[in-house]
Amino acid sequence: MLALLIVSRISLVIFMKKLKYSFAAFASAAVLSGCASMLSDDPLFIAAYEMPDTVDIEDEVTLAKLSWIGKDLLEPRARRDSAKLLAEQDLPQEWDETQYSTLASMATDMFVGEVGSSLGGAVGGAVMVLGMLSGDGSSNNASGLFLPATIDDVAIDSTEKAHAFAVDMVNNNVMDTAEILGYKATCEYGCDTANRVYKLDMLSSTEKQYVYQPETLTVSINVSEFIEAGNEAVLDSLATGEPIKWRTKDTHGAMVLLGYNPAYDENGNLSLTDIESDNGNFKISKSSITISRTPFGRDFTRAMFNNPYHYQGSNNLRYFAYSGDVFQFYGNATIESFDEKIVK
């Protein structure tokens, strides 16, 4: 009887999530169709709020991986569900012997039951030992970075080296993404720190390909300090497919904010504003961020997060980005929160 009640509850949650999404889609379509003549000269609104094309993600393991990576956006029950599914998966055989044996050893300490060729399915209540599975809710916005002990033949053997590597990686990704989309990125603030603000100017040779594509953009980044992944490295590694050793500490550990229509101060410099984080405030450009919802914004996000280490999601902007893909994000109660990939 208890099992039946649990299954019924999960089914109801999934149904309500889908119903909520369907209502949102209907409401958005109604707004656009009812006000099309009034909004025909507002390309930003149309680009940001028309419903994008999506494909369903039906594979349960894929959903579990995405849910674990974006766990800070989800409620504890959904985190537990993703952990249980991941614990049934094999560790990748292509990892070297040291990486494999280290994570397998962690798994024996972390999970209930014998560990054979896989981590085993007898997780039960043992997943509650993970700090990330407790708490009373989820964050509206989250970002972070995972790193292995070695990447691109570079040894990362301390939290300080992990942080420095991550800052360089995010900086390079900003520069590369700007170039891919036909812009030149120039650092305007904090250029030797982990909290930087860039101005992106469209190149004269760039042809506009989107309904809304500003000539000037801003990108604000902030990378928090790193910690050892600890026992959570097992699930982090299963989710990312990489032998994870380090991760950002903060819920907003590796934030990248794309902005448009920036404000300037009396000297012609970008105006900045403070954002609160777990370990103090950091600066971002005083810009509008609705552009993240547009096709252009999604292409920026796909290029920016086109690796297995960096992720970002927003309940406010309704998206989750990871490994070159952008997903719709509606609701936070189940692993199905990430089951619709935006294709354009």
Each residue's pLDDT tens digit, 141-166: 999 999 999 998 899 999 999 999 99
What's the rounded Cα separation, in Å, for the pair 166 and 160? Answer: 10
* Domain presence at residue 27: no
* From 26-35, 103-112, 210-219, the region with the lowest mean pLDDT: 26-35
* Domain presence at residue 288: yes
Q: Are 5 and 329 contacting, i.e. CB atoms less than 8 angstroms apart? A: no
Which tokens sit at 65? 């991986």
Q: Are 222 and 206 contacting, i.e. CB atoms less than 8 angstroms apart? A: no
Q: Are 264 and 282 contacting, i.e. CB atoms less than 8 angstroms apart? A: no
Q: Are 162 and 146 contacting, i.e. CB atoms less than 8 angstroms apart? A: no
pTM value is 0.82
Q: Are 330 and 207 contacting, i.e. CB atoms less than 8 angstroms apart? A: no
Q: Are 269 and 154 contacting, i.e. CB atoms less than 8 angstroms apart? A: no
* From 48-52, 65-69, 189-193, 214-218, the region with the lowest mean pLDDT: 48-52
Determine the pLDDT at residue 283. Answer: 94
Q: Quick: pLDDT tens for 95-135.
A: 555 554 555 555 544 443 333 333 433 333 334 334 444 45
Q: Are 339 and 70 contacting, i.e. CB atoms less than 8 angstroms apart? A: no
User: Among all chains, which residue has been given the structure tokens 């101060």?
Assistant: 265
* Domain presence at residue 52: yes
% of the chain at pLDDT higher than 70: 74
* Domain presence at residue 4: no
* Domain presence at residue 25: no
Q: What confidence tier does 344 reach under pLDDT thresholds 50, 70, 90?
A: confident
Q: Are 64 and 88 contacting, i.e. CB atoms less than 8 angstroms apart? A: no
Determine the pLDDT at residue 331. Answer: 84
Q: What confidence tier does 307 reach under pLDDT thresholds 50, 70, 90?
A: very high
Q: Is the pLDDT of residue 232 over 90?
A: no
282 lies in which domain range? 42-57+140-342
Task: Read off φ and ψ for residue 292, nearest 5 degrees.
Answer: -60, -20
Provide the b/e sequence for 200-210 (b: ≥16 CB within 10 Å): bebeeeeeeee
Q: What's the total number of domains in the chain?
A: 1
Determine the pLDDT at residue 170. Answer: 98
* Domain presence at residue 171: yes
* Domain presence at residue 32: no
